[in-house]
Structure 1
Amino acid sequence: MDAASKVIAVMRADPLRWHLLGVVSALDLPDGWIGAGFVRNAIWDHLHGRPPSAPTGDVDVIWHDPFCVDAAKDRKLEAVLHVVEPAIPWSVKNQARMHGRNADEPYSSVTEAMRYWPETATAVAVRRVGKDDCEVAAPMGLGDLMQLVLRPTPHFAGKKRHIYEGRVRSKGWMKA
């Protein structure tokens, strides 16, 4: 089984994550996905032989619409998601506006935006397609995610490495 198929199988086997993917899919967002720790934690739990754990921290809903870059739209979407699943700490971000916060050139898609995220293993997103299908976006590949490798993306390997290192420390990823 290839890595993308494995990610999809792990998502399908986790009832809560599969449900949340359906909730986000129902919003019909342009280029809409759930990414970051939502995927990484599920895969790393699986690779460590642990049962699926509930998502910790924010559930990062990412989408891309260059014609709707008002942050208020993200807050409205979070409110809608909160009504459907109030126990989930939703975080919605239109990646079409995030380049400004990150001092990058505009991103043309969610996949391009993920190239500018701090860690390769976190630059992964999934989305439900139809009732039973799922897609994986991984612009940095799935190798590091599947091999439990923690490293910065090229964008965070140089001047921004201190940000990557701060994330590693604050999240406690290197603790046994």
Structure 2
Amino acid sequence: MSFLAAAQDRFRQDVLSNRHNLAILERWPALALPDAWLVAGCLFQTVWNLQSGRAPEADIKDYDLFYFDPLDTSEAAERKVQARIEEVFADLDIKVEACNQARVHLWYERHFGHPRSPLLSAREGIDRFLMPATCVGIRPSEIYAPHGFELLYAGRLTMNPLTPYRDLFERKAASYAARWPWLRVETGLHP
């Protein structure tokens, strides 16, 4: 087994130890979303919880689904998808949020104060998380980690050159470090 395959197996095993991640992936066919990925905190925070000896689900605020539908970038269409997501996962007692990456550029600057060019896939949304360590996504048959897993498992938080917004990085890093004090915040850009 290659190093990458072993790292992917470890990551999959870790994130699926979170019963909510497992339930989301088990119900994947019911979502019927184009280019869909389970992403963000529900994945990397599960890993950090396990490394901290905590329950896999501890302090995870929400579970994010990215999808890419360039045919309808309206807010109404995204709300309709969100309503279906809430119905599919109603019994889990967690917050699952869906975000159409084809429309992020329409609201990003208004919400975060920085411009965002249009994306061409859900993976490009994952690529642009504030920290390379957190750029991870999973779906039943695939894992996406453009920067690998070393930064994630080492707890090294560096700024992503694709989103070099120091103000957002510092706020997010401080929030993570408050919950997982062993994380190392590094102020430079990740190459």
Q: TM-score range by the shorter chain?
A: 0.7 to 0.9
Question: Please, which runs of 5 or more residues in structure 2 have no aligned partner?
Answer: 110-114, 183-191
The offset of 1:109, in angstroms, is 1.0
Partners of 2:57 and 2:75 in 1: CA distance: 30
Evaluate the alpha carbon distance shift between residue 55 and residue 65 of structure 1 in structure 2; reply closer, same or farther with a 3 A threshold: farther
Would you say the 8 A contact 2:105–2:116 is kept in 1?
yes
- Consecutive unaligned residues in structure 1, runs of 5 or more: 130-134
The residue aligned with 2:174 is 169
Q: 1:120 aligns with which of 128, 132, 138?
A: 132
Give the 3 Å change call, closer, same or farther, for CA 142–71 of structure 1 in structure 2.
farther
Change (3 A) 1:120 1:111: same
Aligned pair partner of 1:44 in 23, 41, 48: 48
Per-residue CA deviations over 1:114-168 (Å, capped at 9, x if unaligned) read 2222111221111113xxxxx21122322211222112211334xx111110112
CA RMSD of aligned residues (A): 2.1
Higher relative contact order (CA 8 A, sep 6+): 1
1:62-141 equivalences under 5 Å are 62-86=66-90, 87-100=93-106, 101-102=108-109, 103-129=115-141, 135-141=142-148
Comparing 40-49 with 51-60, which one deviates more in the overlay?
51-60
Partner Cα separation in structure 1 for residue 180 and residue 54 of structure 2: 17
Cα distance change on mapping 1:55 and 1:125 into 2, 3 Å: farther
TM-score normalised to the size of structure 2?
Answer: 0.78
Aligned with 1:155: secondary structure?
Answer: coil
SS of residue matched to 1:34: strand
| 1:13 aligns to 2:25 (yes or no) | no
Q: Which amino acid aligns with 2:82?
A: E
Instruction: Give the number of aligned pairs.
Output: 169
Quick check: 41-50 or 165-174, which moved more?
165-174
Q: Which residue of 2 aligns with 1:145?
A: 152
Offset from partner CA, 1:77-113 (integer Å, 9 cap, x none): 2222222323221211111111332523221111112
Q: What's the TM-score, normalizing by structure 1?
A: 0.83
Query: Which one of the candidate residues 53, 60, 64 is aligned to 2:64?
Result: 60
With 47-56 and 59-68 compared, the bigger mean Cα shift is at 47-56
Question: How far apart, in 1, do the equivalents of 2:49 and 2:29 lie?
Answer: 24
